[in-house]
Amino acid sequence: MKREALLARLRSTPEWDVLIIGGGATGLGCAVDAAARGYTTLLLEAHDFAKGTSSRSTKLIHGGVRYLAQGRIGLVREALEERALLLANAPHLVHPQRFVVPVYHQWDRLRLGVGLKAYDWLAGQHSLGASRLLSVRDTVAALPGVKETGLLGGIAYMDARFDDARLAITLMRSVFDLGGLAINYLPVTALRQEAGRVSGVEAHDAEHGERFTIAARVVINAGGVWADALRQLDDREAPARLAPSQGAHIVVDRAFLPTDNALLIPHTDDGRVLFAIPWQGRLLLGTTDTPRSDLPLEPLPLAGEIDFILDTAGRYLTHPPGRNDVQSAFAGLRPLIGSGQGGGTAALSREHSIMVSRGGLVSVAGGKWTTYRRMGEQIVDTAAPLGGLPARKSITRTLPLHGHPGRVANDVLGTDRPVADTLPGAGNVIHPAFTLTEAEVRHAIRHELARSVEDILARRHRALFIDARAAGTAAAAVMTIVAAELDLDEDETRRQTAAFQALAQGFCQGADAPM
């Protein structure tokens, strides 16, 4: 997994069957699917895997209760089936999660009860357990700290949670397991065309500046919120298809809801639901839905979004968190398919659309983590004949992902755990706020293509998302190991440390907020 060896393989391969641009959930799903079919597969990521939206989700693998309320039956049924496949194929990363909805109005009891029974029915053989009505006493026991004034009871149902960035890293490792190649920090700068057809890309190594001309039989644009910009490299007249939306989240101490159950708040002022989910030993609250016309690489929650989440949670918790209780605040940009009518984004579809340009560029818009595998299958089904590739069926429905332990386990490294624990520093925890060890830092660099302190503290380990201030404090110790492993000079070491600490400052309270 040394970068020099990966670049050497790239130089020595005259043409790839499938070339994918973008190392988020969709691109990685495409790469796993293509490599599993036996196509020579290359994935290029401009930054780090899951740098953008795919590490900033609500951490749910779910059918989507609110999509059911919107009448998107097909999307819900498909997502519930994909939930079952992920629980089977990545049990070290995806786990069943019980949700409880507190009920304060009789109409909500009826409406939500019927809706969640429909959710059970759509899950069918993939059900994780039937929803059921709870008494006031059982609701308070399930959600200690929930407001009891006016409480009529609750409804419990089952879904699943996961670690999004770790699933992305696992998919990247799976690409290698299947014979493919994935490289981060290798941005595509242009599309190559021959006889009016897209025939490859121009790219360069962001670390050392080397330029590459890469030939491919078919190119897939999985650029997420930046997919329209890639489409316009192929066709300058291509109309924009995306209406990006920002989803913000905050992380607080689990003491505000000390339970293994998650809370679903069914009504918010922006037309969404809001979740309170036990995650990484903390409590994750979110999410918002704010339209954005710009596409920053590092979006941060706006002050109003943080206040919105705190205010909404405060209506349901006896002792609600305040500004000073926020340990991390982060935001992601969702690549929603636009309506062309302006306005808000809460009602826009989370389904995906596959587009093929006149030049043969295959682009995907929309989608969500839960259905990444199905999206990858459909995209490769579309791309393979365009590249003249032999027809081969997808096998990813029953494909165990890298590190699959063969049983349900809570260790995100899965079968890689013994490998990590043989490295120096296995017993040395970097910071008391986290479980990250020196050995795990070395493992991330040697086996998971981590290239910076941010790669490790944001995505190989979730320290930045758990406690941003503590992550900033831990940066120097992590950077010492990174510098030694990658032979970085003092200037680069200082630059990386300062850049990460500035990022951590933003995660402390978000944009435009008091620090």
Q: Is residue 308 part of a domain?
A: yes
The DSSP H or E segment spanning 31 is helix 25-36
Domain check: are 223 and 192 in the same one? yes
Q: Is residue 87 part of a domain?
A: no
CATH number for the domain that contains residue 281: 3.30.9.10
- Does pTM top 0.75 for this prediction? yes
- What pLDDT was estimated at residue 351? 76
- What pLDDT was estimated at residue 361? 97
Distance between CA 235 and CA 357 in Å, rounded?
Answer: 8
Domain check: are 122 and 202 in the same one? no
Q: Quick check: helix, strand or coil at residue 505?
A: helix
Domain check: are 503 and 457 in the same one? yes
User: To the nearest whole percent, how much of the chain has pLDDT over 90?
Assistant: 84
Domain check: are 328 and 251 in the same one? yes
Q: What mean pLDDT comes out for the span 329-334?
A: 95
Distance between CA 347 and CA 439 in Å, rounded?
Answer: 45
Q: Is residue 449 part of a domain?
A: yes
Q: Is 184 a residue whose pLDDT tops 90?
A: yes
Pairing status of strand 245-253 against strand 282-286: antiparallel
Distance between CA 75 and CA 80 in Å, rounded?
Answer: 9
407 CB contacts (<8 Å, ≥6 apart)? Answer: 91
Domain check: are 260 and 151 in the same one? yes
Rg (CA), the chain: 22
Q: Is 342 a residue whose pLDDT tops 70?
A: no
- Based on the structure, what is the number of domains in the chain? 3
Cα–Cα distances (Å) from 203 to 22, 286, 384, 388, in that order, read: 13, 37, 23, 24
Domain check: are 222 and 369 in the same one? yes
Q: Is residue 409 part of a domain?
A: no
Lowest mean pLDDT among 93-97, 137-141, 337-341: 337-341
Distance between CA 483 and CA 485 in Å, rounded?
Answer: 6
Give the CB-side neighbour count of residue 20, counting CA atoms within 13 A. Answer: 36
Domain check: are 430 and 498 in the same one? yes
Domain check: are 354 and 452 in the same one? no
User: To the nearest whole percent, how much of the chain has pLDDT over 70?
Assistant: 96
Q: How many CB atoms lie within 10 A of CB 309?
A: 25
Q: What domain range includes position 289?
A: 96-161+243-334
- What pLDDT was estimated at residue 66? 78
Read off φ and ψ for residue 322, nearest 5 degrees.
-120, -175
Cα–Cα distances (Å) from 240 to 54, 291, 303, in that order, read: 21, 15, 29
Domain check: are 129 and 175 in the same one? no
CATH number for the domain that contains residue 44: 3.50.50.60
Confidence of residue 510 (pLDDT cuts 50, 70, 90): low
Q: Which of 91, 85, 101, 86 is nearest to 133 (CA)?
A: 101
Q: Is 70 a residue whose pLDDT tops 60?
A: yes
Q: Quick check: helix, strand or coil at residue 338?
A: coil
Domain check: are 177 and 152 in the same one? no
Q: What mean pLDDT comes out for the span 77-99?
A: 96
* DSSP string of 119-134, one letter each residue: HHHHHGGG-SS--EEE
Residue 296, both tokens: 């920053």
Q: Is 409 a residue whose pLDDT tops 80?
A: no
Distance between CA 79 and CA 323 in Å, rounded?
Answer: 35
pLDDT, tens digit, for every residue of 187-209?
A: 999 999 999 999 999 999 999 99
Q: Is 293 a residue whose pLDDT tops 90?
A: no
Q: What mean pLDDT comes out for the span 434-454?
A: 97
Domain check: are 150 and 247 in the same one? yes
User: Which residues are paired to 276 by β-bridges?
Assistant: 263, 285
Q: Is residue 81 part of a domain?
A: no
Q: Is 88 a residue whose pLDDT tops 70?
A: yes
Cα–Cα distances (Å) from 192 to 125, 214, 269, in that order, read: 47, 8, 47
Q: Which of 459, 110, 401, 102 is nearest to 262 (CA)?
A: 102
Q: Are 45 and 23 in contact (CB under 8 A)?
A: yes
Q: What mean pLDDT comes out for the span 99-103?
A: 97
Domain check: are 236 and 249 in the same one? no
Confidence of residue 303 (pLDDT cuts 50, 70, 90): confident
Q: Is residue 233 part of a domain?
A: yes
Q: Quick check: helix, strand or coil at residue 138?
A: helix
Confidence of residue 408 (pLDDT cuts 50, 70, 90): low
pLDDT, tens digit, for every residue of 365-401?
A: 988 999 999 999 999 999 999 999 999 999 999 999 9
Q: Is residue 263 part of a domain?
A: yes
Q: Are 362 and 26 in contact (CB under 8 A)?
A: no
* Average pLDDT taken over every residue of the chain: 93
Cα 326–chain centre separation: 21
Cα 418–chain centre separation: 26
Q: Is residue 282 part of a domain?
A: yes
pLDDT, tens digit, for every residue of 22-46?
A: 999 999 999 999 999 999 999 999 9
Q: What mean pLDDT comes out for the span 123-141?
A: 96
Q: Are 159 and 63 in contact (CB under 8 A)?
A: yes
The DSSP H or E segment spanning 275 is strand 274-279
- What pLDDT was estimated at residue 344? 45
Angle between helices 73-89 and 106-123 (to 10 degrees): 60
